[in-house]
Chains A and B, each alone.
Chain A
């Protein structure tokens, strides 16, 4: 068996299980005695619940129980209000429904058919209310309120403590960032640019829809099998809702069929537990694709950005207002707004800033975390405007970025020092990949003609970004060295396709000198694995990877102690290499040492590792992020100047990964993020008609197909090691997605000279912009 290496590509450990279809996902599972749950959802965006009558539903053969507001309001064992930031959600609607698809009631039955039939027989009397349909309407003085009052939790996230709903308005939170002197900054500017950019709500589009199996034992012990990215957060929330200690809640997570932020915080778990409790039977709820559209979305945004620039291209001042449509419930919207605000200056030194970022309630399905977490919104504006500035100043967009971009040791907008930020390396790599030089010639007038038809124009564009990871946070890991020197790894990191199993095994294998084949990464079960905050924010390799590394080192330390004691060797004479313990005269393998320690073949050595990041780093300096992601992307497009049809020819993405532990895995993840980004940039949009979703299915909601992908996606790993990451590694899950949309918009501008400020960029928008440009008199 080969020794585990770092920096050498390995095939993912779950490869065979998944490609042969043997991996178990939640919807494949059942437990003895299990019933089926279905949810009745609101057909209105905003209505008062006047009356609910479930008597007909209860008569359907096979129906075990119907859950309505009466069950959650009059049960002392249930705290009806919950939510990760504000307690504005309820298991089923209480006084009002606030969006189409808001759960109103739910049924448990022996069969899915009976549950479906019963749902249709629940009589609900609504009093329709005027609905708040977008952020403009929500912010008007005297607007209809989505929430008349909002319950705050007794304790919440430290990083969101200062953010509160603005009473009597639909403002969920308002994050402010001020730096320098904004008026002075604009006064010193030679040019001022002001633009408004918009982007729509979209879907995460994971293959696996949300699902849950819940079982409640007499005495209140709750077990849930959940499709969640953060089992420990779900555990806490369920413990709060059902008023039990966390030890009485067990959350088990099978392989997750994709998450992308859409499976953080409670989703379908509270209602499933309530159903199981009421029915006295285990219950499974599997959401349909349409229901996923009602459960969570990405924030739509309107971003007004005003930037002051000197003649030489130096960015000197920026005022920015970001309005994020958080839908009917806050979910994690307040943090999304905060992260959007933090990155409204982009990866650039801008001394004078006035940033106002709002999460705003509307009568739409809740928006929450989405791969890129607020930065894919802000970067759309930042990076589009960079090219607007470059064009106006007749500068090379690459040079403009490099001139203003962060260098090692620069201060971020929070005044903390940036370390390990390979921004310019990323920019140079993507520029090289798409042949940027020929584009600069293009600017001088010799635009590259598209092959084939003469009305096809070719263009190139790029974009970059900086993003934080959730800080402070905690990851704990346990590894067990078994008597045969094989290793079991216990972590709360959820394998959702990102390859965490493989990379965690690599880290432990490298540290202990064990072959990958001898290592097993266990599935997530909160009864078994130690605490981890979340599998999101691109944090697992950095945090959990480090925790696993520390746990492995803990085992080495114990082995050393045993050897010192049992073989009487002084500490400085014990060394480790390739899975062996080297002594002056001889070498021992782990199994021998274990045998010596326990006197027979048996026993376990348990190693533990803990990583905790804080709002201050090890230098005592403020730390908004335990590490910073930087990335760049570049696109080459062909645009039909007659019809606006776009062909994405090539996309290059470069990410500072710190250290590529599994280069193949890194490249796959970068490509995957780029592909998601292409969907967001050119295809996807949830369409609404007066608060009704009109495309809540994958026929009408257009995800790109393989044929729409560029023939080349070039993922490049830049390696600027981070001092605190395992072997220097940083997180990479989100980075590559963020620059995609502006890079494509910039390439389209380069090709045909029209600027699209509203995502997604479809042929129709380009066509209309071209028509408008034709109609405009030439200056």
Chain B
């Protein structure tokens, strides 16, 4: 690991100021929350910051506040805290489950929700010192000609990573908003708009600009008649990324879908909404047939690579099962 200087900051403002200063001085700096992600990136020398800005010393960035229409979750809240929160379990059980299925207990105890949605890819080329890949400023995405069994079937090109976050897809499904602090002050955006496809920028996974930090996630309470579902398929049952995950949030009325979101994880460089399937479901009763059809519609346009065709079939099947379980 490269040597670095650690700076304990006392406020978001101080952190933003430092980030901006280092950016202007062309020094590399990284913010650290739980550290479970950044530390590994530094050990692998994917990240080689000169300065670490330690957010854990900022008071009051870890909380779950249940307000009238939404939960407000501080960026430093750990996944374990989300998993175990009574209010979250009551209103958004699938979100608690998603938190509980991420990584391992030790990582969930340290890892924060802010860090989770800002994770870098777990692509094996990206993480290896022996490949200077496109996302690290190199010339090629090695997944194209290489072993791409875990790579994208949607939204790929010129880079084919999949977004590793377990929390992002269910948060997008439930319509979460994100609060970002930056040099120009605070802004709130839909989480969905936070992630960027490689065709927009192939070296970043999100829109955070210089000096910007995620400070809060706002999760609206589901409307009456809403049911959510989260299911993650992986190769081993603990400490593994999704091959495919599916998050559904459906609001039904009189047996028919009023509105709903279906979001896939593990299939694209961002959490992947399938709007055509969502549209198809609107006004329909969910049964074996519609669920199957929705799965098929959702996977239209999938572009599997040579080693990941399985993801297409798995995603179809998972959507079908998730929809049937959501009503």
- What is A's interface to B at a CB cutoff of 8 Å? 43, 100, 113, 116, 642-645, 683, 687-690, 692, 694-697, 699-700, 702-708, 762-764, 767-768, 771
Annotate B99-135 by CB proximity to A: 1 below 8 A, 0 otherwise.
0000000000000000000000010110110110000
Give the chain A neighbours of B128 by CB distance below 8 A: 692, 694, 696
User: Closest 10 A-B residue pairs measured CB to CB?
Assistant: A707-B237, A705-B238, A764-B310, A694-B124, A689-B146, A705-B236, A702-B235, A643-B317, A700-B124, A43-B130
Give the chain B neighbours of A690 by CB distance below 8 A: 146
Name B3's closest neighbour in chain A (CB-CB).
Answer: A113
With beta carbons under 8 angstroms apart, the residue of B124, B239, B313 that contacts A643 is B313
| Chain A CB within 8 A of B61 CB | no
Please report the C-alpha to C-alpha distance between residue A762 and residue B280 in the assembled complex, in whole angstroms.
33
| Chain A CB within 8 A of B233 CB | yes
Give the chain B neighbours of A700 by CB distance below 8 A: 122, 124, 127
What are 26 of the A-B contact pairs (CB < 8 Å)? A643-B233, A643-B314, A644-B310, A683-B236, A689-B142, A690-B146, A692-B128, A692-B130, A694-B124, A694-B125, A694-B128, A694-B147, A695-B124, A697-B127, A699-B122, A705-B236, A705-B237, A705-B240, A707-B237, A708-B237, A762-B235, A763-B314, A764-B149, A764-B310, A767-B310, A768-B309
Please report the C-alpha to C-alpha distance between residue A762 and residue B317 in the assembled complex, in whole angstroms.
17
Q: Give the residues from 210 to 242 in chain B that come closer than 8 angstroms, CB to CB, to chain A.
A: 233, 235-240
Which of B131, B142, B235 is most buried by chain A, counting CB atoms within 10 A of its CB?
A: B235
Give the chain A neighbours of B235 by CB distance below 8 A: 683, 702, 762
Annotate B287-308 by CB proximity to A: 1 below 8 A, 0 otherwise.
0000000000000000000000
Q: Do A692 and B236 touch across chains, with their CB atoms under 8 A apart?
A: no
Give the chain B neighbours of A703 by CB distance below 8 A: 236
Give the chain B neighbours of A688 by CB distance below 8 A: 147
Give the chain A neighbours of B240 by CB distance below 8 A: 702, 705
Give the chain A neighbours of B310 by CB distance below 8 A: 644, 763-764, 767-768
Name A705's closest neighbour in chain B (CB-CB).
Answer: B238
Give the chain A neighbours of B309 by CB distance below 8 A: 768
Interface size of B in residues (CB-CB distance below 8 Å): 25
Name B103's closest neighbour in chain A (CB-CB).
Answer: A699
Give the chain B neighbours of A100 by CB distance below 8 A: 130
- What is B's interface to A at a CB cutoff of 8 Å? 1, 3, 122, 124-125, 127-128, 130-131, 142, 146-147, 149, 233, 235-240, 309-310, 313-314, 317
Please report the C-alpha to C-alpha distance between residue A688 and residue B125 in the assembled complex, in whole angstroms.
11
Given contacts A700-B124, A767-B313, A768-B310, contact A706 B130 (CB under 8 A): no
Please report the C-alpha to C-alpha distance between residue A762 and residue B150 in the assembled complex, in whole angstroms.
13
Please report the C-alpha to C-alpha distance between residue A100 and residue B130 in the assembled complex, in whole angstroms.
9
Please report the C-alpha to C-alpha distance between residue A645 and residue B235 in the assembled complex, in whole angstroms.
9
Chain B min CB distance to A771 (Å):
8
Q: Do B238 and A706 touch across chains, with their CB atoms under 8 A apart?
A: yes
Please report the C-alpha to C-alpha distance between residue A169 and residue B128 in the assembled complex, in whole angstroms.
32
Give the chain A neighbours of B313 by CB distance below 8 A: 643, 767, 771
Known: A692-B128, A707-B238. 6 other contacts (CB 8 A): A642-B317, A683-B235, A694-B124, A695-B124, A699-B122, A705-B236
Give the chain A neighbours of B236 by CB distance below 8 A: 683, 702-705, 707-708
Give the chain A neighbours of B124 by CB distance below 8 A: 687, 694-695, 700
Chain A min CB distance to B45 (Å):
9
Chain A min CB distance to B134 (Å):
15
With beta carbons under 8 angstroms apart, the residue of B3, B146, B233 that contacts A645 is B233
Please report the C-alpha to C-alpha distance between residue A696 and residue B131 in the assembled complex, in whole angstroms.
13
Which of B122, B124, B149 is most buried by chain A, counting CB atoms within 10 A of its CB?
A: B124
Name B150's closest neighbour in chain A (CB-CB).
Answer: A700
Name B43's closest neighbour in chain A (CB-CB).
Answer: A288
Chain A min CB distance to B46 (Å):
12
Please report the C-alpha to C-alpha distance between residue A704 and residue B149 in the assembled complex, in whole angstroms.
18
Please report the C-alpha to C-alpha distance between residue A697 and residue B126 in the assembled complex, in whole angstroms.
13
Which of B128, B149, B237 is most buried by chain A, counting CB atoms within 10 A of its CB?
A: B128
With beta carbons under 8 angstroms apart, the residue of B1, B127, B131, B314 that contacts A692 is B131
Name B142's closest neighbour in chain A (CB-CB).
Answer: A689
Chain A min CB distance to B188 (Å):
34
Chain B min CB distance to A504 (Å):
36
Chain B min CB distance to A755 (Å):
18
Please report the C-alpha to C-alpha distance between residue A706 and residue B147 in the assembled complex, in whole angstroms.
27
Chain A min CB distance to B206 (Å):
22
Give the chain A neighbours of B239 by CB distance below 8 A: 699, 705
Please report the C-alpha to C-alpha distance between residue A279 and residue B12 in the assembled complex, in whole angstroms.
49
Please report the C-alpha to C-alpha distance between residue A767 and residue B311 in the assembled complex, in whole angstroms.
11
Please report the C-alpha to C-alpha distance between residue A178 and residue B238 in the assembled complex, in whole angstroms.
48
Q: Do B238 and A694 touch across chains, with their CB atoms under 8 A apart?
A: no
With beta carbons under 8 angstroms apart, the residue of A116, A687, A707, A764 that contacts B147 is A687
Name A101's closest neighbour in chain B (CB-CB).
Answer: B130
Name B308's closest neighbour in chain A (CB-CB).
Answer: A764
Give the chain B neighbours of A699 by CB distance below 8 A: 122, 239
Give the chain B neighbours of A706 by CB distance below 8 A: 238
Please report the C-alpha to C-alpha distance between residue A707 and residue B235 in the assembled complex, in whole angstroms.
11
Name A694's closest neighbour in chain B (CB-CB).
Answer: B124
Chain B min CB distance to A116 (Å):
8
Chain B min CB distance to A579 (Å):
48
Name A700's closest neighbour in chain B (CB-CB).
Answer: B124
Name B309's closest neighbour in chain A (CB-CB).
Answer: A768
Please report the C-alpha to C-alpha distance between residue A643 and residue B317 in the assembled complex, in whole angstroms.
7
Please report the C-alpha to C-alpha distance between residue A688 and residue B309 in the assembled complex, in whole angstroms.
19
Please report the C-alpha to C-alpha distance between residue A764 and residue B310 in the assembled complex, in whole angstroms.
6
Please report the C-alpha to C-alpha distance between residue A695 and residue B125 in the assembled complex, in whole angstroms.
9
Name B40's closest neighbour in chain A (CB-CB).
Answer: A699
Give the chain B neighbours of A644 by CB distance below 8 A: 310
Please report the C-alpha to C-alpha distance between residue A703 and residue B317 in the assembled complex, in whole angstroms.
26
Chain B min CB distance to A690 (Å):
8
Chain A min CB distance to B218 (Å):
31
Please report the C-alpha to C-alpha distance between residue A645 and residue B237 in the assembled complex, in whole angstroms.
12
Name A100's closest neighbour in chain B (CB-CB).
Answer: B130
Give the chain A neighbours of B314 by CB distance below 8 A: 643, 763, 767
Please report the C-alpha to C-alpha distance between residue A700 and residue B239 in the assembled complex, in whole angstroms.
10
Please report the C-alpha to C-alpha distance between residue A647 and residue B235 in the assembled complex, in whole angstroms.
11
Chain A min CB distance to B54 (Å):
21
Give the chain B neighbours of A768 by CB distance below 8 A: 309-310
Chain A min CB distance to B269 (Å):
18
Chain A min CB distance to B261 (Å):
23
Given contacts A643-B314, A699-B122, A764-B310, contact A689 B238 (CB under 8 A): no
Please report the C-alpha to C-alpha distance between residue A453 and residue B79 in the assembled complex, in whole angstroms.
31
Name B239's closest neighbour in chain A (CB-CB).
Answer: A705
Please report the C-alpha to C-alpha distance between residue A706 and residue B239 in the assembled complex, in whole angstroms.
11
Chain B min CB distance to A756 (Å):
14
Chain A min CB distance to B153 (Å):
13
Chain A min CB distance to B165 (Å):
15
Give the chain A neighbours of B146 by CB distance below 8 A: 689-690, 694
Give the chain B neighbours of A43 by CB distance below 8 A: 130
Give the chain B neighbours of A116 by CB distance below 8 A: 1
Give the chain B neighbours of A771 by CB distance below 8 A: 313
Which of A643, A683, A702 is most buried by chain B, counting CB atoms within 10 A of its CB?
A: A643
Give the chain A neighbours of B130 by CB distance below 8 A: 43, 100, 692
Chain A min CB distance to B110 (Å):
16
Give the chain B neighbours of A707 by CB distance below 8 A: 236-238
Chain B min CB distance to A644 (Å):
8
Please report the C-alpha to C-alpha distance between residue A266 and residue B314 in the assembled complex, in whole angstroms.
45
Give the chain A neighbours of B3 by CB distance below 8 A: 113
Chain A min CB distance to B126 (Å):
11
Give the chain B neighbours of A702 by CB distance below 8 A: 235-236, 240
Q: Do A689 and B147 touch across chains, with their CB atoms under 8 A apart?
A: yes
Please report the C-alpha to C-alpha distance between residue A687 and residue B1 in the assembled complex, in whole angstroms.
25
Name B104's closest neighbour in chain A (CB-CB).
Answer: A705
Give the chain B neighbours of A683 by CB distance below 8 A: 235-236
Give the chain B neighbours of A689 by CB distance below 8 A: 125, 142, 146-147
Give the chain B neighbours of A692 by CB distance below 8 A: 128, 130-131
Give the chain A neighbours of B237 by CB distance below 8 A: 705, 707-708
Please report the C-alpha to C-alpha distance between residue A100 and residue B125 in the assembled complex, in whole angstroms.
15
Chain A min CB distance to B266 (Å):
13
